[in-house]
Structure 1
Amino acid sequence: MHMHKEALLRTALAFLKNEHDALEALQETTYRAFKNIHTLKEPSYAKTWLIRIVINYCQDQLKKDKRFVRNGEYVDSSVSDDLTQIELQEALSMLSPADQQLIYMKYFQDVKIKDIATIEKIPEGTVKSRLHKTLRTLRRHFEDKGGIDHV
């Protein structure tokens, strides 16, 4: 848990947008991991397994707490005034939850495509094609807004 604490916390923050909730997610992930350690078949996939636990917990919390407001944007009381950050959040909010998760894992958590495929239980080629399609959607969004053209 100590080795992967930072990656797990970043993942929780990316989903929950709140440090207190992210820390709670980390605690719950720790509990669930120790409770279900016997289900981990391959120790080399511990990080992947833990990230899957934290993602599942975060998604459950988002559904349970109904943290969505207009247009699927997350409630976030600590939104930075930085325009780029706001534009990025807006662009990400227009994606499906599955595509958001893919972007967070790949670009915010630096999870390898192979590991994403393992987490999602889909072929690596599917991960690559979904990633390509999602990036194309984001690129179009920014081009239409006349914004960032280097996504």
Structure 2
Amino acid sequence: MEIMSLIKKAKKGDDGAFYELMQIHKIRLLKIAFSYLRNEEDALEALQEVTFRAYRSIHKVKEAEYFSTWLIRIMLNYCHDQARKKKRIADTGLLENLAETVDHSQTLEIQEALLKIDSRSREVIILKYYHDLRIKDIAEILESPESTIKTWLYKGLKALRNQMEDRSGLNV
């Protein structure tokens, strides 16, 4: 696979290979950054910082197949650091792009409901449903067992359902 060879070349110091890898992952990283930082400029700054951090420590990637997970973990760590510095809760700015079938008011309701559930569950829901990551990948990124991720997802979805029921007064 081409990506695996790019990773091997980048680990050996090939700047062109590293650039190609970042181009491949740029959009996904920007989406994650934007969903946490809620600001395009902050998301672009996050991408720059993550690119620098990844470039500086590319040699630390032990297994090439986990390169994507490694990059996403760097981005999440950066976003969490920024959220702590600014003392604001990481949320889901990309929810507005949800599904075409969900109208704007429902999107806002989902966004508000997500903010009211615990941060671990919220993070798992965002990574699973808005960034299409598998449970296995989320477990790698969050450095937790898959069973724990499944538990957080289950509890988060239950809490989200309860929040939505409370808002509408109906069973969802």
Once residues 27 and 43 of structure 1 are traced to their aligned partners in structure 2, the CA distance between those partners, rounded to angstroms, is 22
Q: Which runs of 5+ in 1 are unaligned?
A: none
> Out of 142, 149, 153, which is 1:120 matched to?
142
**Contact 2:124–2:153 (CA under 8 A) maintained in structure 1:** yes
Runs of 4+ in 1 over 3 A off after TM superposition: 147-150
Matches within 5 A, 1:62-101: 62-66=83-87, 68=88, 82-101=104-123
Larger Rg: 2
Deviation (angstroms), 1:20: 0.8
Shift of 1:39: 1.2
Task: Please state how far the C-alpha of 1:89 moved relative to its aligned partner.
Answer: 1.5
Tell me the percent identity: 46
Q: Which of the residues 32, 42, 49 maps onto 1:21?
A: 42
* Two-structure CA RMSD over aligned residues (Å): 2.3
Residue matched to 1:143: 165
Report how many aligned residue pairs link the two structures: 143
Deviations 1:38-72 (A, max 9, x none): 11111111111111101110110111122x3xxx5
Q: SS state of the match for residue 84, structure 1?
A: helix
| TM-score, normalization by structure 2 | 0.75
The one-letter code of the counterpart of 1:16 is: L
Instruction: Name which of 47, 56, 63 aligns with 2:68.
Output: 47
Q: Is the 8 A contact 1:73 1:90 kept in 2?
A: no
